[in-house]
Structure 1
Amino acid sequence: MFGAPNKGANAYAKIGIETGVASASPHKLIVMLFEGAMVAVASAVQHMNAGDVANKGAAISKAISIIDNGLRASLDKNVGGEVALNLDALYEYMSSRLLIANLKNQPQTLDEVYQLLKGLRDAWVTINPDAAAQVPAAAAPQQPADPLAPQSSRLVKA
């Protein structure tokens, strides 16, 4: 009578994601791509364990799409040099491993790709340029106030 029970929650989540994407820095967008791929791989494991072939395939396809059309497509091999080339090879490896996991029903292969994505995501988070921009470079560390130290008089003499 009222439709799908999760329809409203899914619409709300979609709006939240779209808002996050619109306001995210390029660095945050890459983190979001890693997280999206990780969620898709974790979902594929659940569907694989449940024997849900259609949803397993859809989740793996989504993870491959994020890796190939998001992470891999965002590489600038001219500027990134050897690091970009190595990441490109790693992304290609992950996509091929996901295909094998799908064809052979190998949850351990999905876990391998998940761990690779997690390691890259964690490394990416630690090099967050936004966090460095939030801390003023010239700011000196504040010394805690010593209540017993002599204080200059705040009274104005007439």
Structure 2
Amino acid sequence: MNPMRALRQYQKVNSHAQISEASPHRLVQMLMEGGLDRMAQAKGALERGDIALKGLMLGKAVDIVIGLRDGLNPEKTEDPAAIEQLDSLYAYMTSRLTEANLNNDVAIIDEVSGLLETLKSGWDAIATPQA
């Protein structure tokens, strides 16, 4: 068996186990981490001239941001305006990533990555202690 294939298979099983045991808070963290990883991979692919991989990774990053946006629940908050702002930010991020993909623009990838890093640091700061 190919060792790289075995490693990928292990990582896939390991990530499925993490997902099945994760709290909703941790799932959002994992999505944010995945979005940042995909943007970094897209940036690396673009710098190497691998346009196909860049497109694939940015497409995955867009899907993750859409997933985060779809997870917003205005009914479960005391601050619906904050949810509206997050919704608008996620829509902006999706639009910018699409623009970065069309124009092969590393600066836009960096911009959106910075926005997501800021959101993630705030999300990490409100981590709930495990019972």
TM-score, normalised via structure 2 length? 0.94
2:117 corresponds in structure 1 to 118
Q: Secondary structure at the match of 1:6?
A: helix
Q: Give me the whole-angstrom Cα distance separating, in 2, the residues matched to 1:117 and 1:10.
A: 26
Name stretches of at least 5 consecutive residues in structure 1 with no aligned partner: 135-158
Q: Could you tell me which amino acid in structure 2 is paired with residue 29 of structure 1?
A: L
Match of residue 96 from structure 2: 97
Between the aligned partners of 2:36 and 2:4, the Cα distance in structure 1 is: 22
Choose 1 or 2 for highest CA Rg: 1
Structure 1 runs, 4 residues or longer, greater than 3 Å off:
none
Aligned-pair Cα RMSD in Å: 1.2
d(CA) in 1 for partners of 2:42, 2:89: 20
Of Structure 1 and Structure 2, which has the larger fraction of its residues in helix?
2
Q: For structure 2, which runs of at least 5 residues remain unmatched after alignment?
A: none
Query: Is 2:67 the partner of 1:74?
Result: no
Give 1:66 shift. Answer: 0.6
Looking at structure 2, the residues matched to 82 and 12 of structure 1 have their Cα atoms a distance apart, in angstroms, of 42
Structure 2 distance, partners of 1:78, 1:52, is 43
Pairwise mapping of residues 17-36 of structure 1 onto structure 2 (< 5 A)? 17-36=15-34
Distance in 1 (alpha carbons) for counterparts of 2:76 and 2:126? 18
2:58 to 57, 60, 64: 60
Where does residue 127 of structure 1 map in the other structure? 126
The number of residue pairs the alignment matches comes to 129
Identity %: 36
Cα distance, 1:78 vs structure 2: 2.8
What is the letter of the counterpart of residue 127 of structure 2? N
